[in-house]
Amino acid sequence: MRVKGSLALMTVAIAAVILITVSVAAASTAKSETGVPILLYHRFGPVVADSMTITTAGFESHLKYLRQNGYTVIPLRQLIDSLKSKKPLPAHSVVIVADDAHKSVYTDMFPLARKYNVPVTLFVYPSAISNASYAMTWNQLKEVKETGLFDLQSHTYWHPNFKREKKKLDQKEYEKLVETQLKKAKDKLEKDLNAKVDLLAWPFGIYDEYLMGKASEAGYIAAFSIERRPVRSTDNMMSLPRFLIENSNQGKSFERLLTEN
């Protein structure tokens, strides 16, 4: 009986050591992994109009820096495929995205994307397109898509604040709102732009377990927050982080952002 007891205790001890070793190794791998920064832009212009605006010259300085310092701007889709398949990415990979489809994406960002030949993923909320004075038109979206540089994805249908709506609506109304925002946006973009839409940017960076589950049910394979850190293989696919770019992110500030881990 003593022998059996000793063997049982030894087995438990060995299992504990193995578990600790695996946990430490996993933590070490996550810590040492070089993440991929997703750079999130909103609006552009000759001067800074608000906190979401970066000067067009400032954006071009970012593109020049990336080109001159060995960075590879890859499509967001390539990053997602790599996270799913574990296939390696080019060294010093960076992703560029924009939210909202502001008209300056067409007038300012689009020409520079073509000049530097960089891919961009544009997250669109369809209710504003060809309706709001600040937004792009459907024809402009089609034009940028046809270049092959722009991938058009969902930013919900009208960019709601889910926290506020959840407090304001009863449960059934809120559930209906969420379903409408996720599905209507996807259906509209796919139909009007003949696009594959399965990526989602959370409005205001707001998400929770319920919203992530509903997004998966609606057919999205990845979704994006505004947490300021690079993407790593251990991240939840429905809440991948992005660096919200401000005009102050110039020079050394931009360089530090690219090397954060």
Q: What is the pLDDT of residues 198-223, one digit of tens each?
A: 999 999 999 999 999 999 999 999 99
DSSP structure class, residue 47: S
What residues form DSSP beta bridges with 95? 38
Using CA atoms, how far residue 156 sits from 207, 228, 248, 256, in Å, is: 12, 21, 28, 31
Is the domain of 4 the same as that of 56?
no
Q: What are the structure tokens assigned to 107, written together?
A: 């007038």
Is the domain of 5 the same as that of 127?
no
Element of type H or E holding 107: none
Query: What percentage of the chain reaches a pLDDT higher than 70?
Result: 87
- Domain count of the fold of the chain: 2
Predicted TM-score (pTM) of this structure: 0.86
Query: What CATH number is given to the structural domain containing 97?
Result: 3.20.20.370
Neighbours of 190 (CB within 10 A): 16
Q: Which domain holds residue 189?
A: 35-259
Is the domain of 145 the same as that of 50?
yes
* Per-residue model confidence (pLDDT) at position 260: 79
Longest CA span, the chain: 83
Cβ neighbours for 79, distance < 8 A, ≥ 6 positions apart:
36, 38, 89, 93, 95, 231
Is the domain of 88 the same as that of 25?
no
Using CA atoms, how far residue 180 sits from 159, 177, 187, 233, in Å, is: 12, 5, 10, 30
Is the domain of 24 the same as that of 79?
no
Is the domain of 19 the same as that of 84?
no
Smallest Cα–Cα separation from 211: which of 163, 248, 252? 163
pLDDT confidence bin for 29, thresholds 50/70/90: very low
Is the domain of 28 the same as that of 42?
no
Is the domain of 65 the same as that of 174?
yes
pLDDT over threshold 80, residue 20: no
Written as one letter, the residue type at 37 is P
Is the domain of 18 the same as that of 108?
no
